[in-house]
Amino acid sequence: MVQEAKTWIRSNSTLIYFLIAQFIAIGAGAASILAYAVKLETRVMTMETRGAEYTVARMEEMKRRITILETQAADNKRSIDRIVDVMTKRLNISP
């Protein structure tokens, strides 16, 4: 039995080397995919922690700008209403 196994291995050594190389390649590919997944997860986690602070700061800045624009719009509306009132009084037309 042992002699038959040795003979089979010698006659099929190319096949055995090929299968061993395939297992090594598959293992290297799996290790590469695992390393990429870990690296990607690390990046996502970093972006979530850092990005949250940045997003909150950006939203606060946008809220501040919107408040300023709303105040300016209200002031402009009051000015336009005043100008319309003055102009319509001179024309004797009621709005």
pLDDT attached to residue 94: 59
pLDDT attached to residue 92: 67
Each domain of the chain, given as residue ranges in start order, spans 2-91
Residues of the chain with pLDDT under 50: none
pLDDT attached to residue 95: 53
What is residue 29's three-state secondary structure? Answer: helix
- pTM higher than 0.85, yes or no? no
String of b and e for 8-47 (b: at least 16 CB within 10 Å)?
Answer: eeeeeeeeeeeeeeeeeeeeeeeeeeeeeeeeeeeeeeee
What pLDDT, in 10s, does the model give residues 33-52? 999 999 999 888 887 777 77
pLDDT attached to residue 23: 96
